[in-house]
Amino acid sequence: MPKGKSMNYLSDGGLALPERIQTTRKVAKGRRTHFTGQFTFGPDEGRTMDIESHTELCTALVTIARPDVAGLENQVPFKWVKPNGKTATHHFDFRVLMADGSRRAIMVKSEYRRRQPEVQAELAQIAAQVTPDFADDVVIMTERDLDPVELFNAEMMHEMRRPDPEADAIGRRIMNEMVASVQIQDLVDAIGLSARGFRTIVRLIRSHELKLVIKVRIAHEAYVCRRIFK
């Protein structure tokens, strides 16, 4: 694989392992009856995050793909007071740093658990005690809140995130000449590197230099335009 600027290489040519994010709550991995794992993310592929459900993974991928998101933390501890007066710690699955500087705390649950009255009551009590010094907003995410088109695109962007310097340079040059919306297939043809060109377009969408004209799955027939940064 070509060396790209978003990969960390050692002086001897080896690849530097990403930093493992340390949290106060240990995520038990390797369960046979439960989805667990980790994924690598960040502009330089420099961080690895533990995940303990498929919904968590999907939520993370969708979140980091959004243009208004600047950063992501996981398993963030929050002290709260139970109805009996005792102090407890809730670990928010994610805390999102937005581009405008605000922060959003996310609780990820299965739809089945979210519907349970005792779970709803506890989550409501926790959310009510969150103050702006911790987060500006609290949301609950379940599998039903994941938009299938947005998830499909987020998974594709994550899968094709590794740079291809030659193709990416050609794609960026062609993109800078765009004056209107263009079909992805036309850009792929202009790049002239077949599938490598398509992956380049996906990366340009991932970096928010290009954007889909309408919310559709990223595909050869979709139209994109340049994103104007303000």
Amino acid letter for position 52: E
Taking the domains of the chain in order of start, what are their residue ranges?
19-146, 153-226
Whole-angstrom Cα distance, residue 178 to residue 225?
Answer: 8
Fold of 19-146: Trna Endonuclease; Chain: A, domain 1 (3.40.1350)
User: Could you tell me whether strands 103-108 and 69-81 are parallel, antiparallel, or unpaired per DSSP bridges?
Assistant: unpaired
Query: What is the value of pTM for the model shown?
Result: 0.84
Encoded amino acid at 150, one letter: E
CA dist., res. 48 & res. 39, Å (int): 6
Higher pLDDT, 47 or 125: 125
d(CA 172, CA 201): 9
pLDDT at 48: 84
Q: In the predicted model, is pLDDT for residue 148 greater than 70?
A: yes
Q: Are 135 and 53 in contact (CB under 8 A)?
A: no
- What does the pLDDT average to over 153-174? 95
Does residue 160 contact residue 168 with C-beta atoms inside 8 Å?
no
Q: Which one has a higher pLDDT value, 16 or 101?
A: 101
